[in-house]
């Protein structure tokens, strides 16, 4: 049983399909791993069949050979029957998302001079008698500077929070992905090991030790 091929090809398909987690990609990954395991099993029992019908261990007793090679009740037919009775199936189920997806918030100020959250502003400006009153401009400049500072600070904080949250989700995704792939490989190996044990029992039933 080529378990090395199984693991290598499943991991290749994981890299191919699970880089982006979508419904379609998960389904494609499941279908591909199902095909890989079935192919490994088929190659195994066809190889065993060939070994005892045409290979170096070809059965010399004609009656034994005919029984082993029988289309309906021979080794190959019974291995196919086992695979049909112990299928790898794909099931779909609807789920309700329990986690809020990270989303980026970017709320601007209400107006060009709106300043929120900076407390009381004290503008110091010049008033030149008979020329002009610069205190108004100074107040507007202070308001703009304060608004710009707060906007950048809030935007940066939200961006950091967003990035941190996304990183948290990515860590969780990677852990769950590894658990999916490793667990799937382990279970497929168990399935193939059971098939191999069944093969050994069949060989014994045909008088092959």
Rounded CA gap, 184 and 180, in Å?
Answer: 6
How, if at all, do strands 132-133 and 127-128 pair?
antiparallel
DSSP label at residue 132: E
Per-residue pLDDT of the chain (209 residues; tens, 9 = 90+): 999 999 999 999 989 988 877 777 888 888 888 999 999 999 999 999 999 999 999 999 999 999 999 999 999 999 999 999 988 877 655 554 433 333 434 344 444 434 445 556 665 544 444 444 445 655 554 565 566 566 667 766 776 766 677 677 778 788 888 888 888 888 889 899 999 999 999 999 999 98
Q: Which residue has the tokens 């019908």?
A: 53
Give the global pTM: 0.69
Decide: 195 and 43 in contact? Cβ < 8 Å: no
For residue 127, what pLDDT is reported?
45
Please state, in angstroms and as integers, the Cα–Cα distance from residue 85 to each residue in 58, 82, 88, following that order: 28, 5, 10
Helix, strand or coil for residue 154?
Answer: helix
Helix, strand or coil for residue 9?
Answer: helix
Helix, strand or coil for residue 46?
Answer: helix
Decide: 181 and 10 in contact? Cβ < 8 Å: yes
Phi, psi of 166 (to 5 degrees): -60, -40
What tokens were used for 167?
A: 């990183």
Q: Which residues pair with 132 in a beta bridge?
A: 128
Per-residue DSSP letters for 159-188?
HHHHHHHHHHHHHHHHHHHHHHHHHHHHHH
For residue 99, what pLDDT is reported?
36
Q: Which residue has the tokens 């980026």?
A: 104
Convert the pLDDT of each residue in 65-89 to its tens digit. Answer: 999 999 999 999 999 999 999 888 7
DSSP label at residue 118: S
């Amino acid at each position: 049983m080529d378990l090395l091929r199984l693991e290598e090809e499943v991991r290749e398909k994981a890299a191919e399909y699970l880089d982006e987690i979508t419904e379609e990609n998960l389904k494609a990954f499941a279908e591909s791993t199902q095909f890989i395991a079935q192919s490994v099993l088929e190659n195994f029992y066809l190889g065993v069949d060939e070994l005892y019908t045409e290979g170096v261990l070809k059965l010399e007793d004609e009656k034994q050979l005919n029984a082993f090679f029988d289309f309906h009740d021979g080794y190959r037919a019974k291995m196919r029957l086992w695979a049909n009775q112990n299928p790898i199936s794909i099931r779909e189920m609807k789920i309700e998302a329990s986690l809020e997806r990270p989303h980026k918030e970017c709320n601007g100020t209400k107006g060009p001079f709106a300043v929120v959250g900076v407390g009381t502003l004290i503008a110091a400006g010049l008033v030149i008698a008979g020329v002009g009153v610069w205190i108004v401009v100074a107040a507007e400049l202070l308001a703009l500077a304060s608004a710009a500072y707060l906007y950048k600070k809030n935007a940066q904080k939200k961006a950091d929070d967003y990035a941190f949250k996304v990183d948290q989700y990515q860590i969780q995704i990677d852990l769950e992905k590894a658990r999916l792939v490793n667990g799937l490989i382990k279970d497929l190996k168990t399935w193939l090991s059971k098939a191999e044990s069944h093969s050994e029992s069949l060989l014994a039933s045909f008088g092959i030790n």
